[in-house]
């Protein structure tokens, strides 16, 4: 798995890039939590659930189905009234935050693959390119000599591309807003037409 720091960083960037009013700090914190939630499946090890089982690590909680279900439940709890455009944005934000966890894990160089399509298909998948050093399971195992290697790998393959994507989205938004100019007033004295 990638570390919780990188999962949360990607979720924060996903929410901050569009600069939409629905993405308040409480929503951003919820998105960061969603990006980490799939790894709660490691609790199963204490109950005898094997890594490769349906509810094992990188199994059901890493699936797109789980991301959809969690996002729908949280969006419904967050906004109890009829669904609106803001709620649809919130749903997709939480979905992408949760699903991003599995995408990052599929880029790592260790462990089993990710069951993207569980429970319908429990096959585990990795991406062809797997440049991210896998983070050890457990907090105590993370803070070791191996931690620097993991973090350096994540900075190179997760943080820097995320920052680049964030800057590109912000730059495109700036260009679009700069193109919305007020056209000059007609010479006949009538009111200017705004684009």
pLDDT at 187: 62
Q: Write out the two tokens for 1.
A: 């798995």
Given a contact cutoff of 8 angstroms between Cβ atoms, the answer to whether 104 and 9 are in contact is no
Angstrom distances, CA of residue 172 to CA of 33, 95, 166, 179: 28, 23, 10, 11
Torsions phi, psi for 32 (to 5 deg): -65, -40
Q: Where are the domains of the chain?
A: 4-179
Q: What is the pLDDT of residue 195?
A: 46
**3-class DSSP state for residue 182?**
strand
Spell out the residues 6+ positions from residue 57 whose beta carbon is closer than 8 angstroms to its own. Answer: 1, 39, 41, 42, 44, 45, 51, 111, 112, 137
Q: What is the pLDDT of residue 143?
A: 59
- The 3-class secondary structure across 81-98, one letter per residue, is CCCCHHHHHHHHHHHHHH
Distance CA 13, CA 34 (A): 14
Are the C-beta atoms of 91 and 72 separated by less than 8 Å?
yes
| pTM of structure | 0.85
* Residue 173, pLDDT score: 84
Quick check: helix, strand or coil at residue 125? strand
CB atoms inside a 10 Å sphere around CB 162: 21
92, 67 Cβ separation under 8 angstroms? no
State whether residue 40 is helix, strand or coil: helix
Contact 34, 15 (CB under 8 A): no
Residue-by-residue pLDDT tens, the chain, 195 positions: 788 999 999 999 999 998 888 899 999 999 999 999 999 999 999 999 999 999 999 999 999 999 999 999 999 998 776 668 889 999 999 999 999 999 999 999 988 999 999 999 999 999 999 999 998 776 655 556 677 888 889 999 999 999 999 999 999 888 887 777 545 556 665 555 554
The pLDDT, as a whole number, for residue 138 is: 62
């Amino acid at each position: 798995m990638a570390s919780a720091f990188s999962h949360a960083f990607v979720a924060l960037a996903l929410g901050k890039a569009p600069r939409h009013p629905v993405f308040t700090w409480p929503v951003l914190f919820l998105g960061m939590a969603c990006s980490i939630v799939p790894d709660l499946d490691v609790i199963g090890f204490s109950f005898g659930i094997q890594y490769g089982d349906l509810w094992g690590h990188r199994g059901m909680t890493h699936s797109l189905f789980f991301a959809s279900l969690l996002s729908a439940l949280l969006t419904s709890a967050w906004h109890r009234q009829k669904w609106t455009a803001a709620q649809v944005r919130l749903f997709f934000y939480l979905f992408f935050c949760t699903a991003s966890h599995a995408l990052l894990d599929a880029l790592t160089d260790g462990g089993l693959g990710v069951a993207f399509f569980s429970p319908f298909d429990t096959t585990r998948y990795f991406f062809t390119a797997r440049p991210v050093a896998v983070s050890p399971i457990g907090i105590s195992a993370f803070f070791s000599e191996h931690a620097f290697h993991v973090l350096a790998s994540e900075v190179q393959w997760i943080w820097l591309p995320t920052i680049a994507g964030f800057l590109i989205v912000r730059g495109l938004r700036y260009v679009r807003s700069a193109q919305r100019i007020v056209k000059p007033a007609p010479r006949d004295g009538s009111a200017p037409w705004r684009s």
